[in-house]
Amino acid sequence: MKEIPLLRPYFNSEELEEVQKVLNSGWVSQGPKVQEFEGKIAEYLGIKYAIAVTNCTSALHLALLSIGVKTGDEVLVADFTFPATGHAVLYCGAKPIFVDIDSKTYNMDIDLIEEKITERTKAIIPVHTFGQPVQMDKIMEIAEEYNLKVIEDAACALGAKYKDMYAGTIGNLGCFSFHARKGITTGEGGMAVTDNKNLAEKIRNLSVFGMTSAWNREKSDKFIIPEFTEVGYNYKMSDIAAAIGVAQLKRLDKIIKRKQELARYWDEKLQEIEFIESPYVSKNVTHVYQSYIALVDKQINRNKLIELLMKKGVQTQIGTYASHIQPVYNSNQECPKSYQTFNMSLALPMYYTLTEGDIDMAAAHLKEALVELRWI
């Protein structure tokens, strides 16, 4: 029986060549290859500053610290997201205030933002869920009116666009992920981006223990003993990871185009299947389909569906989490649409080397499984 995984990263010989260059150079921690990767990301996005870090969670943490979020502050967070978003707020000693979602787009419901704002609110973190950008115009208007900062959680959205603007470049700061499941990957890795020089310098300093980085010291012809000016973190990316990122970035647009084609094919197949609905896409966005997330009917036990499909050789998964119900947050907030979507969402196989034939097979098994569960 052929097995169809949920995801499969796409590599070729270019990654090996780039990594070999780094190994041959003898500089494998943060160094010139990280600087190259940062430059290429900044150029791609058309933004001034990009700081490579260990993952998107650390990027979010540093972004929050750079705007001064501290103990006692509140940050508005999209509820339907991987808990890393809320965790980054907790790392600062602040409180995540969860905002319910639009059931169609899975993104933060913009109409619910203002009622959540208090005198303690310092920032808004909209999440571009699964690679579909949030409607950012209204969020930026609200932020300006209430003097709030906006940090875009663009973990899933490198290359996605809202109107003609890249996700992650519209707010004060944007944060990206290079996890294995994302559009391009460095295994683990992240990036914070901004047009604000002061925020960029703050993030870079905090990412290397609050000291002058080794790469910057090496560029000087004088012997410099670094000073530790504040409590920072060991969040720096290695040159080995950056080398993979440099190679991956060359293929990003090709990967996005192919995944958009596969998403359209999935849409067609799901139209033929009862008890499941294809994802909605807004008209003014470019969706990059980090994941393809469908909604199963309320009659269907989604968890049993995942188990049954696995037995048939098709790997699926939940969409993501309703953050407010996670015990770590000890939250009494209610986000009913997020909770419902958490229980109904199903991630279907989506990756560059997936074929239409694979989708045909997976869809056939999906149809069988839904019929079986309908009568249980």
Closest by CA position to 237, among listed 43, 112, 50: 50
Which two structure tokens, joined as six digits, stand for 359?
A: 């989708």
Distance, CA of 64 to CA of 314 (rounded, Å): 39
Helix axis angle, 197-207 to 56-66, nearest 10°: 120
What single-letter DSSP state applies at residue 181?
Answer: T
Long-range contacts of 33-38 (CB under 8 A, 24+ apart): 33/239, 33/240, 33/242, 33/243, 33/246, 34/215, 34/236, 34/237, 34/238, 34/239, 34/242, 35/215, 36/242, 36/246, 37/237, 37/242, 37/243, 37/245, 37/246, 37/249, 38/191, 38/242
User: Is 138 part of the annotated catalytic residue set?
Assistant: no
User: What is the CA 289 to chain-centroid distance, rounded?
Assistant: 11
Q: Tokens 């150079």 — which residue?
A: 25
Considering all CA atoms of the chain, what is the largest pairwise distance in Å, rounded to the nearest integer? Answer: 76
> Which is the catalytic residue, given 95, 149, 182, 337?
182
Distance, CA of 43 to CA of 32 (rounded, Å): 16
Q: Tokens 């992240």 — which residue?
A: 190
- Residues 235-254: b if buried by 16+ CB within 10 A, e if exposed: bbbbbbbbbbbbbbbebbee
Q: How many CB atoms lie within 10 A of CB 90?
A: 15
User: What is the CA 269 to chain-centroid distance, rounded?
Assistant: 27
Contact at 8 Å (CB) between 79 and 335? yes
Distance, CA of 336 to CA of 71 (rounded, Å): 28
In a 13 Å sphere around the CA of 123, the CA atoms on its Cβ side amount to 34
* Catalytic residue ranges: 182
